């Protein structure tokens, strides 16, 4: 018997049981309730281990049929892109089968960066696109992101409806209405035209020596070639994908080799992206990492000085260092903080009409040149800004000193354990006590990852000793769940 307490909403054959921020679909039969399906979609699509539910061919077929039935009602046409991991072709084939069974024509785009797919989707004449990727995760994982016809992510209401359709497993198919399959290899060309729209001369990166770590992912061929075409001297790392080496000891999650190579090659900077290309890590000529908040501030400052900034505001999340707000305001700009997640940042940026926002993790959005975080666009903007300054990276950064902070990622068994830890009374009491002690002079954030079995604890304030003490008090409680 299921013993956890739920608030029940809805009526009819299916109802929703709500517990915190998650829910479970329940099928009503006479006076009894049977739990049928847990929430599948996280903050950025569905993700898991390949060949383990929900990252199975069977699930992908059903997702394709559900999307064909619920979303693809207009043009009856969908596009699919994927990263370089070995399970991508399996999931692509399964999605294609489900979509075509539902009468949807499928356009296969092959290996393509996530920011490229969000950028070109509005030009493809499709009802939606799918990106098959697990982003910065190891090759054993995979995921499916859903992208609307306008290039944006779908709302929670839409994904909830898809979950319900999949749980019901009652699809309406016809032998008279079947979709076709085609390929489009030109999508990347269209993306590059948009991504380089701010380039004002033929070889603006001439004289730049840069190390590019492509994570053996989607930018492995694209990014080194673009930088070389623009005049840069390039040392490429992580640019030989084999299906199993994506993000392995390379890329934004493991930039150590990039740091070392920059020092040894006397490069001006190093740039590492993740497997699907929407995250970036940058280092200076000494191989020292530059924080994401510093990059956000640099882009805002540079674009504003060049008269290319819109909205006069910068957006980041509650996990960003509190010193970023003071610096942005010193530039005469407004600052806004959102909940964690790129979708929240982008939504606020659109509300304000501003040009730059992002997360400290390296998802940086230059809204005038793309719809989502884009590692290559950010890399180009930073590189151009560096050359125009005439300075070394170490002479530019840091733009401002950080407030003392402690940021801890605690990995637990699984995502259910994450939910249990966040809901635990002792953990909640520790967070509340820390917040009270800060008394408005800092920030305390407990954030469950939406894509990994990780609980993040972030504490910042002017008193370093107090920051460390309060962080430890929360971390110690969460460690009980490891």
Would you please indicate which residues are annotated as catalytic (active-site) residues? 135
- Residue 82 sits at φ, ψ, to 5 deg, of -155, 160
Sheet of strand 313-317, all strands in order from the earlier edge strand to the far edge? 334-338, 313-317, 356-358, 364-366
Q: Please answer whether residues 27 and 177 qualify as being in contact, where contact means their C-beta atoms are separated by less than 8 angstroms.
A: no
- Residue 437 sits at φ, ψ, to 5 deg, of -70, -30
Helix (H) or strand (E) holding 269: strand 269-273
- Which residue from 356, 377, 346, 349 is spatially nearest to 298, judged by alpha carbons? 356
H helix intervals, 102-242 = 114-120, 156-168, 187-195, 222-229
Token code pair at residue 88? 């991508």
- DSSP states of 9-63: E--SSEEEEEETTEEEEEEEETTEEEEEEE---BTTBEEEETTSTTSSHHHHHHH
Token code pair at residue 189? 């060309």
What long-range pairs does 145-152 form, CB within 8 A, spacing at least 24?
145/44, 145/45, 145/114, 146/45, 146/67, 147/117, 147/118, 147/121, 148/121, 149/74, 149/121, 149/122, 150/121, 150/122, 151/118, 151/119, 151/120, 151/121, 151/122, 151/371, 152/118, 152/346, 152/371
Q: Please answer whether residues 275 and 294 qualify as being in contact, where contact means their C-beta atoms are separated by less than 8 angstroms.
A: no
């Amino acid at each position: 018997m299921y013993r956890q307490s739920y608030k029940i909403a809805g009526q009819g054959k299916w109802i929703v049981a709500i517990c915190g921020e998650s829910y479970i679909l329940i099928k009503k039969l006479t006076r009894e309730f049977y739990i049928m399906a847990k929430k599948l979609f996280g903050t950025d699509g569905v993700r898991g281990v390949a060949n383990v539910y929900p990252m199975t061919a069977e699930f992908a077929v059903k997702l394709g049929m559900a999307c064909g039935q619920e979303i693809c009602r207009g043009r009856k046409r969908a596009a699919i892109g994927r990263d370089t991991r070995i399970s991508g072709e399996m999931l692509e084939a399964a999605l294609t089968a489900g979509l075509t069974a539902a009468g949807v024509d499928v356009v296969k785009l092959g290996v393509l960066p996530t920011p490229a797919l969000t950028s070109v989707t509005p030009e493809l004449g499709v009802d939606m696109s799918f990106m098959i990727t697990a982003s910065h995760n190891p090759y054993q994982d995979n995921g499916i992101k859903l992208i609307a016809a306008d290039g944006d992510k779908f709302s929670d209401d839409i994904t909830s409806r898809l979950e319900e359709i999949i749980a019901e497993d009652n699809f309406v198919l016809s032998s008279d209405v079947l979709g076709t399959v085609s390929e489009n290899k030109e999508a990347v060309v269209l993306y590059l035209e948009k991504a380089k729209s701010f380039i004002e001369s033929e070889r603006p990166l001439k004289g730049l020596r840069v190390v590019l770590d492509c994570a053996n992912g989607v930018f492995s061929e694209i990014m080194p070639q673009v930088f070389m075409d623009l005049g840069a001297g390039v040392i490429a790392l992580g640019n030989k994908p084999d299906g199993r080496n994506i993000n392995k000891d390379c890329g934004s999650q493991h930039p150590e080799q990039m740091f070392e190579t920059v020092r040894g090659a006397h490069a001006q900077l190093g740039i590492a992206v993740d497997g699907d290309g929407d995250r970036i890590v940058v280092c200076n000529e000494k191989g020292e990492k530059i924080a994401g908040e510093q990059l956000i501030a640099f882009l805002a400052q540079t674009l504003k000085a060049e008269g290319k900034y819109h909205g006069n505001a910068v957006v980041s999340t509650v996990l960003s260092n509190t010193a970023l707000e003071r610096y942005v305001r010193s530039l005469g700009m407004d600052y806004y903080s959102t909940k964690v997640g790129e979708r929240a940042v982008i939504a606020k940026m659109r509300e304000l009409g501003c040009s730059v926002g992002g997360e400290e993790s390296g998802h940086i959005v230059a809204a005038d040149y793309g719809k989502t975080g884009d590692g290559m666009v950010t890399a180009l903007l930073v590189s151009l800004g560096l050359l125009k300054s005439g300075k070394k990276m170490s002479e530019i950064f840091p733009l401002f000193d950080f407030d003392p902070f402690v940021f801890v990622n605690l990995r637990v068994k699984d995502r259910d354990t994450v939910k249990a830890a966040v809901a635990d009374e002792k953990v909640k009491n520790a967070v509340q006590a820390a917040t009270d002690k800060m008394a408005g002079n800092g920030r305390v954030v407990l954030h469950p990852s939406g894509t990994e079995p990780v609980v993040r604890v972030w504490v910042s304030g002017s008193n370093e000793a107090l920051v460390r003490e309060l962080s430890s008090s929360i971390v110690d409680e969460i460690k009980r769940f490891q």
